[in-house]
Amino acid sequence: MFAAYMPYYTMNFSYIWILIPAILLGFAAQMLVKSRFNKYNQVRAGSGYTGEEAAKRILRENQLHDVRVERVPGTLTDHYSPKEKVLRLSDSTYQSNSIAAIGVAAHEAGHAVQHATGYMPNKVRSSLVPVAQIGSSIGPYLAIMGLMFQSGTGDLLFNIGIILYLGALLFFLVTLPVEFNASKRAIASLDSSGMLSTEELKGAKKVLNAAAMTYVASALTAVLSLLRLILMARGRRR
C-alpha cells in the first residue's frame, strides 16, 4: 500500500533517546512525501493519462483482467487489496493526469502484479499482517509488564512480548523489498508504455522514492523500539 504503516511503541522516557533518530526520519519522510506529491501533482503528464487509466493499462498489459480499479475517498489513501483483487485509488489520484498521480497509480498496479506473479517477499508480507497487528500492539505491553515483575513471571512475560514484537519487526523489514520492487515495476511500466516521458519519469521517481523513505523510517523505528526494550530489561537486571 502507498500509505506507510508506522509501528506502535509504548512511551517511556527511559531510553527514549534511542527512538529520536527514527521519529525525526519518519517526520521528515512524511513531509517530503507531501511536498513532492503536491509539487508533481501540479505537473500534467504529456500523455494525458489519468491515474485510473494508467493503472488499468498496466493491469491489461499484465493480463490481470480480474482486478477492479475503484475510487476511494482521501488523499494518498491508495492501496491494493489482494483478497478482493481491487486496486483503490484516492481522490487525489483517480481522475488526475498529473505525474504524481500516474506514478502512485502505477505503484499500486505494481502490487497487483506482485500478487499475481507470486512475488515471494509479497507473499511473506501478506502472511505476516495478522502477526504484525498483534505483535506491534500487544508485544510491547507484555514486555513492559514483564519488566514490572520479578524474575520468573516477569521474564516469561518479557520474552513472550519480545517474540511477538519480533514478528512485527519481520513484517516491517519484509515490507521494504515489496515497496521498492513495486516502485521499480511502476517506473519500468511507465517508461516502456510511454505514459510518461523520460523527463516526467524523474518526477515520478522522486515521489515514489520519498514514499519509500516512510517505510524505511517504519523499519528503523521497529528495530530501535526492540533495542529500547532490550536495554530496559538489561537496566532492570543491574
pLDDT band with cut points at 50, 70 and 90 for residue 9: very low
Furthest-apart CA pair in the chain: how many Å? 67
With a CB cutoff of 8 Å and minimum separation 6, the contacts of 43 are: 98, 99, 100, 200, 203
Domain locations along the chain: 16-237
Average pLDDT of the chain, as a whole number: 89
* C-alpha pair distances (Å), 210 with each of 2, 12, 92: 11, 30, 17
| pTM of the predicted protein model | 0.86
- Residues noted as catalytic: 108
pLDDT digits (tens, 9 = 90+) for 115-150: 999 999 999 999 999 989 988 888 888 888 887 876
Task: Say yes or no to pLDDT of 75 above 50.
Answer: yes
pLDDT tens string 160-205: 989 999 999 999 999 999 999 999 999 999 999 999 999 999 999 9
Higher-confidence position of 21 and 200: 200
Q: What is the pLDDT of residue 16?
A: 73
In this prediction, residue 197 carries a pLDDT of: 97
Identify residue 179 by its one-letter amino acid code: E
Q: Identify the residue whose cell numbers are 509479497.
A: 122
Share of the chain above pLDDT 90, in %: 68
